[in-house]
Structure 1
Amino acid sequence: MQEFNQALAASTTEESILDFCRRRSLHGTPFVFNGNEDAYYNFRKRIADKFNINFHEIFITGSGKLGFSPRKNKLFDYDSDIDVAIISSALYDKIMASIHGYQMELRENRRTVSSRELDQYHRFLEYGAIGWMRPDLLPTSFRIREIKDDWFGFFDSISHGNSEVGNYKVTAGAFKSYAHLENYTLSGLRSIRSRIQLETQQ
């Protein structure tokens, strides 16, 4: 983690931080599958087959990829989740379309939700606006049967020792394109770099 942070802090140009992002955060076999690339392939294929997309459009991000969370300054452990990023504009659009009815009911004041649910829903829409669909941010009352069964049911079924990834909870989001995933990851790295540089100056 220290070496990662030092290399990130030294990536002072847009070209260098983009290269760092691709090489360290997106490319390669994730930490959780270190030394077991066959299992990584099978895990990706399992998800790809479920959603009818290509296996290479499945990524593991966060501490499961790196072995630590530079944002939380925490090593990967058994309390960590496996964060899956799925690159699929079709799946992204399908999830958005599935909540269309709820959005119309809100717009027409035919649905009452709590302020907490509304705040959570706005977070969901905020992520959607940057190309990342996160069904985990949908308030429970918004989770129609299609999302409950096809999304949460599936990822629950491959969590906690029920798939190649081992005894971890698997969570996932759908990115509209690879560019959206890359841009989101870059944004996070820039924020971490700024924090490291500030801490170094103090």
Structure 2
Amino acid sequence: MDLEEFNSELVSKNDDESVLDFCRKHVLHGTPYIFSARDEEFYEFRKRIANKYCIPFHEIYITGSAKLGFSPLKKKQFDYDSDIDVALVSPSLFEQMMLSVAEYQMMIRKNRAVVHVREIELYHSFLEYVALGWIRPDKLPISFQMKAIKDDWFEFFRSISDGKSEVGNYRVNAGVFKSYSHLENYTLSGIKDIKRSKDLRKNQ
């Protein structure tokens, strides 16, 4: 399926159930474009991440243009300037990371943490994503133990980027979802936004 076919089929969906089915079938399910005809390498790539975070390999998903072969939002094909977006769908890892966040929050509450305004803004943005069931480590503050967690996270994903893993010469980014339902809801929301935009253009 290419970008034109994707858009055409999406526009043809007339109810929420069919849009959800479209999202599951084309966006979440199946072998990612980046690993087309390379199922064994896809397994090994997922296993690398799973071993690092002690989670099952099947909790690792590739999303975005690396999954589809194009970005319906940016309206461009997957290319060498694209990133590999990975979703770790793990309740256990989510809760483990949130324990550290809770300690950080307690420090702020008790005024033991001196945090700059910019960091507070970043932290509030981080918490907005947490409310959606998604931990984005790029938005973690760098104060206290948060810096160690953030540094370890990005050091690991740099170690499997740029030709240093099965995924090839691409940068790998990742976040943690609390459950599959949270990943699905977030992804579905994006698909619905694209459909609304195209429906508006069609009706103008």
TM-score range, shorter-chain basis? over 0.9
Deviations 1:61-92 (A, max 9, x none): 00110111111222211111111011111100
* Alignment match, 2:147: 144
Distance apart, 1:200 and its partner CA = 1.8
**Residue identity matched to 1:62:** G
* Alignment match, 2:44: 42
Q: Is 1:53 aligned to 2:55, yes or no?
A: yes
Aligned pairs (5 A) from 1:130-141: 130-141=132-143
Q: Is 1:104 aligned to 2:106, yes or no?
A: yes
Q: Work out the CA distance in 2 between the residues paired with 1:140 and 1:9.
A: 43
| Count of residue pairs brought into register by the alignment | 201
Q: Work out the CA distance in 2 between the residues paired with 1:107 and 1:6.
A: 51
Deviations 1:32-75 (A, max 9, x none): 11121111111011111111111111100001101111112222
Superposed CA RMSD: 1.5
Q: Is the 8 A contact 2:138 2:150 kept in 1?
A: no
Deviates more, 1:14-23 or 1:72-81: 72-81
Deviations 1:136-170 (A, max 9, x none): 11133363313422x22211110111000011111
* Alignment match, 2:194: 192
Q: Is the 8 A contact 1:67 1:75 kept in 2?
A: yes
Q: Is 1:4 aligned to 2:13, yes or no?
A: no
In structure 1, runs of 5+ residues without a counterpart are: none
Q: Work out the CA distance in 1 between the residues paired with 2:143 and 2:176.
A: 20
Name the TM-score, length of structure 1 as normaliser: 0.93
* Alignment match, 1:169: 171
Distance apart, 1:201 and its partner CA = 2.3
Distance apart, 1:177 and its partner CA = 0.8
Q: Work out the CA distance in 1 between the residues paired with 2:159 and 2:143.
A: 22
Secondary structure of 2:189's counterpart equals: helix
* Alignment match, 1:93: 95
Percent of matched pairs sharing the same residue: 57
Instruction: Label 1:125 to 1:24 Cα distance change in 2 as closer, same or farther (>3 A).
Output: same
Q: Work out the CA distance in 2 between the residues paired with 1:25 and 1:144.
A: 33
Runs (4+) off by over 6 Å? none
* Alignment match, 1:62: 64
Q: Work out the CA distance in 1 between the residues paired with 2:149 and 2:176.
A: 15
**Residue identity matched to 2:147:** I
* Alignment match, 2:125: 123
Deviates more, 1:58-67 or 1:118-127: 118-127
